[in-house]
Structure 1
């Protein structure tokens, strides 16, 4: 039975996020990618396989080399999912800012009254 992977699983691992960073700017061969990590090429290949299964990386063969190319459109799923939480936290932060502003206003007012005595 084939394992179904999604983009959230792919970006859950810091090594895979670093691989995405490396190939986002330009395609790179597997050896160049593996050279950035202190782990076996086999371990890096497994990470790349997961990224490929999730649709975040495409592997193209050029001669003897296999190059990884970023396909970041699927990260839009993550962005959409995160957006709902960003709105919630922005509302909470706005509320906190308003509350702190009221406290500061009261303390400033109270501080002025105290200093007038």
Structure 2
């Protein structure tokens, strides 16, 4: 199993759970796909796009479960990032954990394994 990660505001995730689908955050909707990061990319994603933000969650997904709608495409520095070209069932998350801010202002990541 290969895990990829989505950083998401708690309020958007709660709405997704109630509706039974996650259409994406505003940046996802604008770009036409749901942005994910690998374990090696997710900390930089947090630093680049979520600096200082509170009430965030980190959701992990199995790449195999996302099917053919998951594409690996070049982004920052030519690195391949996972992009999902469909809505996402929040129940398909392997796990969802808090992503709090530490005293230094950086997000404190949980163990990224299963």
TM-score (norm 2): 0.26
Would you tell me which structure has more strand in proportion to its own residues? Answer: 2
Would you tell me which structure has more helix in proportion to its own residues? Answer: 1
